[in-house]
């Protein structure tokens, strides 16, 4: 059992948890994730590790309530426990001093991009960050990202905070004024596709973090298979980060649409997250 030590509600349906997991905290690097079950009958749901506290043996993750399992998770409080937590899983981000980097986070993907952003800044990079959300109320981790960014741009679909428009609009503005050495974009699949197209147009290397359907986290089930540079890869062990220009986006986004809920068909909680993000 893994004890919950702190919880916070970030918005109407977004939650922030710190849990005791000393072995995972000691080994987790930016870009890696965990898979947890709230109880014996619960489904396995992956979450990126947002932050660790190695001295206290704690890890932090942020999630959005979509269906039954995440609704149950959101009801837990400090002092409660989670049944299973596996990790760290996946390959960590390759952190180096690249020079000037552009970081793009959209929606709950901001929670995934934050540890990468922080590590890149600590490695000596100049960090220019773009955060995108539908509305100001849904923007998360603004202050944390600001702390490790040399420049922070916010975009919202409705213009309630920052500039009204898409993250790709902000990317074009930044590229026009700066020489960008590397870019990372994490968020809904369709957002990452168009961020990749924008970066590629300017010959900027870009990395994305894919989030297909995932069950075991060890590459055995094959559910998270994607085509990268013409080869089959498994996101849980070969990723989750890949070069955006090598992702077969048509296949990736098309596969996500296969899980759309039809009459008489019930999706798992995690599948609903993916459909919402990629539909």
Residues contributing to the annotated binding site for [2Fe-2S] cluster: 221, 224, 236
Chain-centroid distance, C-alpha 203: 24
What is the C-alpha to C-alpha distance for residues 144 and 116, in angstroms, rounded to an integer? 12
Which residues does the annotation place in the binding site for FAD? Answer: 62-64
DSSP code string of 186-240:
ESSHHHHHHHHHHHHHTT--EEEE-----SSSSSSS-TTEEEETTEEEEHHHH-S
Which residues does the annotation place in the binding site? Answer: 62-64, 221, 224, 236
The 8-class DSSP code of residue 277 comes to: H
Q: Nearest CA to 85 among 45, 31, 28, 41? A: 45
Q: Nearest CA to 16 among 144, 140, 120, 123? A: 140
Per the CB < 8 A criterion, the answer to whether 244 and 260 are in contact is: no
Q: Which three-class secondary structure state does DSSP give residue 116?
A: helix
Q: Which residues pair with 4 in a beta bridge?
A: 19
Positive/negative CA dihedral, 59, 64, 70, 73? positive
Q: Where are the alpha helices (DSSP H) in the chain?
A: 22-27, 68-74, 109-122, 142-147, 167-177, 189-201, 235-238, 249-257, 269-278
């Amino acid at each position: 059992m893994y004890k919950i030590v702190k919880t916070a509600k970030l918005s109407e349906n977004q939650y922030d948890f710190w849990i005791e997991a000393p072995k995972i905290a000691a080994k987790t690097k930016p870009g890696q994730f965990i898979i947890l079950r709230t109880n014996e009958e619960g489904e396995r749901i992956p979450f990126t590790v947002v932050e660790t506290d190695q001295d206290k043996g704690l890890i932090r993750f942020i999630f959005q309530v979509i269906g039954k399992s995440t609704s149950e998770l959101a009801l837990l409080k400090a002092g409660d426990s989670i049944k299973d937590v596996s990790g760290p899983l996946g390959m960590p981000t390759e952190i180096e001093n690249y020079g000037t980097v552009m970081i793009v986070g959209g929606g709950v993907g901001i929670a995934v991009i934050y540890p990468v952003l922080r590590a890149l800044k600590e490695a000596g990079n100049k960090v220019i960050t773009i955060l995108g959300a539908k509305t100001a109320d849904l923007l998360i981790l603004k202050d944390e990202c600001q702390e490790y960014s040399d420049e922070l741009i916010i975009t919202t679909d409705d213009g309630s905070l920052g500039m009204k428009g898409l993250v790709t609009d902000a990317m074009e503005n930044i590229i026009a004024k700066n020489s960008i050495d590397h870019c990372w974009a994490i968020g809904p699949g369709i957002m990452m596709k168009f961020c990749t197209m924008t970066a590629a147009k300017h010959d900027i290397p870009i990395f994305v973090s894919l989030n297909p359907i995932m069950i075991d986290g060890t590459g055995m089930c094959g559910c998270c298979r994607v085509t990268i540079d013409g080869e089959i890869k498994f996101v849980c062990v070969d990723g989750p980060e890949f070069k955006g220009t090598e992702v077969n986006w048509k296949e990736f986004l098309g596969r996500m649409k296969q899980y759309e809920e039809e009459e008489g068909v019930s999706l798992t909680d995690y599948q609903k997250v993916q459909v919402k993000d990629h539909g």
